Structure 1
Amino acid sequence: MADQIESRLKGRVRAARRSVLTEEIYERVKSLIMNGDLEPGARVNIYAVARLLDVSQTPVREVLSALESEGLLTKEALRGYSVAPVLTPAQVADLYHLRLLLEPWAAAGAAERVTAEAADRVRAELAGLPRAPQGTRYEDYHDIAAHDARFHDLIAELSGSPAVRESLQRTHSHLHLFRIEYEGRRSGEPTLAEHARVAEAVIAGDREAASEAMRAHLAAARDRFLRIGT
């Protein structure tokens, strides 16, 4: 069992450079999870991952700990790390219920507190991904997934509530993992259009419009996810 990851994936994953940053190792391991190369419940052994990527165990420990904090891995005493189970449709609906309680409020707060610097940050985030990438693997849509997480995190940050921001940070990887399990093709075009409407209201300092735009975005995203799982 300890060598499961190595025996299954050796030869399919290029070795990491010995001078590799922890961030690169993080992306390598995360892509194995997000692409389903490591299925829910699969054991993830520190030593096997280190051998697979040809790196030392120290950065691998840091990466697996970070992935556990995101909820992509679970850790049990005497058993180590395993890939977390994919959310059920009911859990996705519950997660969006929480987001619908928190994020419209956060968007309104961001609009109320917006400064010229904050507006520039929102514009820059939108400009960084002008169109949605196409593809069916994590590497193909990594940019839209990262943008989505950054955009929602930025709005939460600008709301001035660290508690809301922290509550939302763990949700993104779970939702993208759910999408991989149930969806064949992904399109981020609706997401980008909805983000633009939220951003416009926040930059304009319009609390009501920002709250409503975020509410509409989350409701539409929830419905897209639930169509995937049914």
Structure 2
Amino acid sequence: MATPPLPDGIRPVQRLTLTDDVYESVQALIMAHAIAPGDRISIDGLARSLQVSPTPVREALARLESDGLVRKRAMTGYTTTPLLSRKEFEELFELRLLLEPAAARRAATQATGDERGRVGEQAAAAVAVEPGADHRRWAAFIAWDARFHDLVAELSGSRLLRESISRLHAHLHLHRRYFPATDPRVTVAEHGRIAAAVAAGEPDAAAEAMRHHLLSAQARHLPTFAGDADGRPPPAGT
């Protein structure tokens, strides 16, 4: 079991927020396929690569298990989760289309004036990323995208609805493999339309804007599966 080399832009962890830094670094290794889907993860190897003790690596892996990016099995340890198959991808969007337009509809009805302002601010928030660091660009975009969708779910006022959407971990799973298919400018514009409808208190428009956003995102990512016989996307780099 090889110790993964650190891609360009990922350096040994040095900052004070050690646990968070290790989590971000291991997440970046998984998203960039420096640790390939289905690979067994060496805690000691990661600790050596990141120049930390094994403890924060274990803590990071526990968080990543909650995110759905790694799995833990008795006697085996941690492995990275496989990529989504086409069937899983379609089922993911089927669930999102049931849940997220409903959340947007409720948010347009339930949100207070201050909360309506928050959703607009989040939709317009800039994603500041240092030049040349692809993993930082991925992480920043994923976090921004997830915050927007989580905020809309929060403003729905339904705890169960928000938790159900959060458990899908859709943003991590999609961008883990399909980031090249995502144009941030398109997503920004789609988020803006959802935010405007929520801010205006227009539930039908908010639900339709969310539905359009999800269908458009599904269409942007679907070509990744073209030509793959077993329903899974080809390996990264092909």
Structure 1 unaligned blocks of 5 or more: none
For the 8 Å contact 2:47–2:57, the answer to whether it is kept is yes
Alignment of structure 1 residues 146-161 onto 2, 5 Å: 146-161=143-158
Residue in 2 that maps onto 1:187: 183
Hey, what's the Cα distance between the residues in 2 that align with 1:92 and 1:191? 19
- Equivalent residue for 1:34? 31
Which residue number corresponds to residue 97 of structure 1? 94
Residues 1:197 and 2:193 are matched in the alignment:
yes
**In 2: Cα distance, 1:202 partner to 1:165 partner:** 16
Separation of aligned partners in 1, 2:46 and 2:201 = 48
State the Cα distance separating 1:210 from its structure 2 match. Answer: 0.4
User: Residues 32 and 223 (structure 1 numbering): CA distance in 2 closer, same or farther, change over 3 Å?
Assistant: same
- 2:165 maps to 168
**TM, length-normalised to structure 1:** 0.88
Counterpart CA distance in 2 for 1:212 and 1:139 is 32
Greater Cα shift, 130-139 or 31-40: 130-139
- What secondary structure, in the 3-state scheme, does the structure 1 residue paired with 2:78 have? strand
Partner in structure 1 of residue 59 of structure 2: 62
Q: Deviations over 1:150-209 (max 9, x none)?
A: 1000000110122222222222211111315xx4x6421111111000000000111111
Letter in 1 for 2:178: R
Amino acid at match of 1:208: D
Partner residue of 2:205 out of 204, 209, 218: 209
Distance 1:149 1:11 in 2: 24
Counterpart of 2:171, as a letter, is: H
Structure 1 SS opposite 2:117: helix
1:21 corresponds, among 18, 43, 61, to 18
Residue 42 of structure 1: how far off its partner (Å): 1.2
In structure 1, the residue matched to 2:43 is 46
Mean alpha-carbon deviation: is it higher for 162-171 or for 56-65?
A: 162-171
Counterpart amino acid of residue 207 in structure 2: S
Residue 10 of structure 1 deviates from its aligned partner by: 6.2
Cα offset for 1:18? 7.0
1:74 paired with 2:71, answer yes
Identity of aligned residues (%): 43
User: TM-score, length-normalised on structure 2?
Assistant: 0.86
Q: Cα distance 1:108–1:186, how it changes in 2: closer, same or farther (>3 A)?
A: closer
Deviations 1:133-153 (A, max 9, x none): 998933233322211111000
Deviation of the 1:28 alpha carbon: 0.5
Q: Distance in 1 between matches of 2:197 and 2:182?
A: 27
Shift of 1:123: 2.0
Amino acid at match of 2:153: A
Root-mean-square deviation over aligned CA pairs: 2.4
Contact 2:108-2:198 at 8 Å conserved across structures: yes
1:160–1:213: structure 2 CA closer, same or farther, 3 Å change rule?
A: same
| Deviation of 1:57 (Å) | 2.1
- Distance change >3 Å, CA 212–CA 65, structure 1 → 2: same
Matched to 2:100, the amino acid is E
Q: In the alignment, residue 113 of structure 1 is paired with which amino acid?
A: Q
Counterpart secondary structure, 1:81:
strand
